[in-house]
Chain A
C-alpha cells in the first residue's frame, strides 16, 4: 500500500511505546504529528457519530423498550406529549425469536439471498467470459447488457410490475399467444418468489458482469498462451487460470452482493409489498412493516428486527473473513 509516512513511521511509534515516559508529553507529540490527519477525518467522524452512531445506540435502546406509536414523545399542534414507554429488557428479543414468523422470514431471506447471489454470479461469470473474447459486435452487446444497471432501481421494479401484470401484462400475453395459460406472477406465493428473484437477478447481473470482466482483463494473456502450449483444454484453462485469477474480485463482489441482497428493500417492497399475504417478506421489509405499515406502529419491534439483522450480517462477515484467511487470502 502506498503511503507517504509524513506522520510517524509505524516502527518508530512502536519503539516509542517502550519508553512509557510522560504521557502528556506523548499526547502533545502525537497531536503534533497527527493533527493533520485527525483534522482531515474529523468531519466524517463527526457525521458518523451524530447521524449513525447516535441513532444506532438509540435503536439498540429502543429494542429494549416497549416503544410504539402511542407512547413515544410527540408534538401535536402546540402540545408536547412526553414519552411514556418503558425499559423492558430483552422481552422483545424473546418475543421475536420465539415467534415462528421470525424463522419463516429468516429461512426465506436466506433462500432469497443464496438464490439471487449464486444465479447472479453464475450468469455474470458466463457473460463476462463471453464478452472477454474478441468478436464483432462486442461493444454493442456490452452496452445492451449493462442497460439494467443504468436505470434507477425503483423504475426497473415498476417496469417489471407492468410486465408481470396478471391479466394484461406482456409476459402473460406472450404465454397465451403460445397457447400456455397465463401465470399469476405476483398473486401466487411460489410464483411471486420466482418473480422477485428474477427481478433482482436482472438488476444485479450487470454489476457482476462488469466487475468480473475487469477481473478477467487483468489476468495476463501469457498464462493462457502457456497453457495452450501445454495442451490444456478450454475447461482446464478456465478451471486453473481463470477462476484463480478472479479470486480477489469474486470474493469482493460476492460479499458485497450478499450484503446488498440480504438488505434489498426496494425490489420486494415495490414489487409485491411482501405479498401475496406475507410470502415474500424478507427480514428488512418485515422490520419496515412493523414500524411504518402496520398499525399501531411498533417502533420497538422494528428496532429489534433491525438489531437482529445487523447481528446476522456481522456474523456472516466474520465467518466469511475467517474462511478467506484460512485459504490464505489477504483480506
Chain B
C-alpha cells in the first residue's frame, strides 16, 4: 500500500491498485491477438453478407451461356441487360411496381400521418383500442386476408389491376405507418403545439403548419418503408396479378427462374436493376429507419 502514504491522497489510492492489476494498455485498447480476432470475424461476416449480392452483380456482366461458370473476369459484357430490356417485359413490370408502390406510399403516409399525430397528442375515447388494433393488424398473416381480398377484388373487377394491389397494400402500409409516425411526433416538443394554439391556430392548423414540416424526416422514413414493403411484396402480387404485362417485379422475376427453365442471365441483370435504386435510397434512410421502428414499438 504505497499509494496511501503519498501526499496525492485518496483519489490516487482508489485508481492505482486497479491500474496495477490491469495490463499497461489504456482503456478501450486491445491486445494484438484480440484485434486480429475482431477483424477476422468481421471480415468473414462481411464476405458472407456481400458475396451473394456481388456474385449476382458479376454474373450479370457475364455472357448468358457462362452464367454458371466460376470465372468472372474473362468476357465482360452488357448483353444480359440489353436482352433484358429488349426481349422481356422488364420495363412494364418496373413501371407497374413503381406505380403500385408509389401510390401506396403517398396514400398510406398521408392517411397515417394524421392518425399518428392524434394518438401522439390527444387523449380521446377509443384511442387505446385503436392503438391495439394498429399493433395487432401487424401480426395478421397474409393468409387470413388474402382469400377474402381476392374474392372482393374479383367481384369489383380489380384483379389484375394495379388499383387492386394498391388497395391491398394499404392493409400492410397504413397500420405500420401510423405506428411509426406516432413515434416521430412523440419526439417533437409539445411546446410547439402550445405556441401554435396561443397564436390562434386550431389543432388542424397546428398539425399542418407547424408539426408536419418538422416531421419531414419521419414522413420520409415512413414513406421509404412503405415503398420498400410494397416494392418487395410477393404473396399478394403472385396471387392477384397474372399475365406477362400485368406482373410487378416480384412476379416478373419468378418467370425467369421456374421449375423447368432458368434464365440466369436475365435474372441476374434484373436483380441488379431492381436492387440498385432500393439500395441507394436505403443507405440514406437506414439510420432513421431503425430509430423509428424501435421507438414506435417500445414507447407504446
A-to-B contact residues, CB < 8 Å: 1-10, 13, 30, 34, 36-41, 43-45, 47-48, 51-52, 54-56, 58-59, 62, 72-75, 123, 126-127, 130-131, 133-135, 137, 141, 143-156, 158-163, 165, 167-170, 173, 202, 205-207, 210-211, 214-215, 225, 228-229, 231, 248-249, 251-253, 255-256, 259, 262-263, 265-266, 269-270, 273, 283-284, 287-288, 291-292, 299, 302-303, 305-307, 309-310, 313-314, 317, 330-331
From B148, B194, B250, residue with most partner A Cβ within 10 Å: B148
Interface of A is mostly: helix
User: Chain A residues with Cβ under 8 A from B253's Cβ?
Assistant: 154-155, 158
B143 to chain A, nearest CB (A): 3
User: Chain B residues with Cβ under 8 A from A170's Cβ?
Assistant: 55, 70
CA distance A250 to B127 in the complex (A): 27
- Chain B 115-145 interface mask (CB, 8 Å, partner A; 1/0): 1011111111111001001101111111111
From A9, A153, A206, A262, residue with most partner B Cβ within 10 Å: A153
User: Chain B residues with Cβ under 8 A from A252's Cβ?
Assistant: 294, 297-298
* A173 closest partner in B (C-beta): B70
Q: Does B221 contact A (CB under 8 A)?
A: no
B-to-A contact residues, CB < 8 Å: 14-15, 18, 21, 27-28, 30, 35, 38-39, 41-42, 45-46, 48-50, 52-53, 55-56, 59, 68-70, 111-112, 114-115, 117-127, 130, 133-134, 136-152, 154-155, 167-168, 170-171, 174-175, 178, 186, 189-190, 193-194, 197, 202-204, 207, 228, 231-232, 234-235, 238-239, 249-250, 253-254, 257, 259, 262, 264, 267-268, 271, 274-275, 278-279, 282-283, 286, 290-291, 293-294, 297-300
Contact status A44-B178, CB under 8 Å = yes
Contact status B123-A5, CB under 8 Å = yes
Contact status A156-B52, CB under 8 Å = yes
Contact status B111-A52, CB under 8 Å = no
User: Chain A residues with Cβ under 8 A from B197's Cβ?
Assistant: 6
Contact status B124-A34, CB under 8 Å = yes
User: Chain B residues with Cβ under 8 A from A291's Cβ?
Assistant: 146-147, 150, 239
24 intermolecular pairs with C-beta atoms under 8 Å apart = A3-B121, A4-B121, A4-B193, A37-B124, A40-B117, A40-B203, A48-B174, A130-B42, A131-B42, A133-B28, A133-B38, A147-B279, A148-B49, A152-B231, A152-B274, A152-B275, A155-B232, A211-B293, A269-B235, A269-B238, A284-B143, A288-B146, A291-B239, A314-B136
3 smallest A-B Cβ distances: which pairs?
A306-B144, A287-B143, A168-B68
A40 to chain B, nearest CB (A): 4
CA distance A274 to B297 in the complex (A): 32
Contact status A8-B202, CB under 8 Å = no
CA distance A169 to B291 in the complex (A): 38
CA distance A170 to B141 in the complex (A): 34
* A259 closest partner in B (C-beta): B139
CA distance A328 to B18 in the complex (A): 35
Contact status B152-A55, CB under 8 Å = yes
Interface of B is mostly: helix
User: Chain B residues with Cβ under 8 A from A59's Cβ?
Assistant: 144-145, 147-148
Cβ-neighbour of B190 out of A3, A173, A211 (below 8 A):
A3
* A312 closest partner in B (C-beta): B141
Known A-B contacts A159-B56, A270-B234; A302 and B143 likewise in contact (beta carbons under 8 Å): yes
Known A-B contacts A6-B193, A309-B141; A152 and B290 likewise in contact (beta carbons under 8 Å): no
Cβ-neighbour of A310 out of B42, B140, B168, B194 (below 8 A):
B140
Known A-B contacts A44-B174, A207-B290; A10 and B35 likewise in contact (beta carbons under 8 Å): no
Contact status B145-A37, CB under 8 Å = no
Contact status B121-A6, CB under 8 Å = yes
CA distance A62 to B147 in the complex (A): 9
Known A-B contacts A38-B124, A310-B141; A162 and B267 likewise in contact (beta carbons under 8 Å): yes
Contact status A41-B119, CB under 8 Å = yes
Contact status B27-A303, CB under 8 Å = no
CA distance A231 to B204 in the complex (A): 57
From B121, B142, B146, B278, residue with most partner A Cβ within 10 Å: B146
Cβ-neighbour of B286 out of A131, A141, A146, A158 (below 8 A):
A146
From B49, B171, B193, B231, residue with most partner A Cβ within 10 Å: B49
CA distance A123 to B48 in the complex (A): 12
User: Chain B residues with Cβ under 8 A from A150's Cβ?
Assistant: 275, 278-279, 282-283, 286
CA distance A318 to B133 in the complex (A): 14
Contact status A41-B118, CB under 8 Å = yes
CA distance A151 to B122 in the complex (A): 38
Cβ-neighbour of B275 out of A151, A273, A299, A331 (below 8 A):
A151
Contact status B49-A270, CB under 8 Å = no
CA distance A37 to B202 in the complex (A): 12
Contact status A249-B294, CB under 8 Å = yes
* A265 closest partner in B (C-beta): B235
Contact status B294-A288, CB under 8 Å = no
Known A-B contacts A202-B52, A252-B298, A284-B142; A152 and B232 likewise in contact (beta carbons under 8 Å): yes
CA distance A6 to B205 in the complex (A): 14
Contact status B203-A36, CB under 8 Å = yes
CA distance A202 to B42 in the complex (A): 15
CA distance A318 to B222 in the complex (A): 27
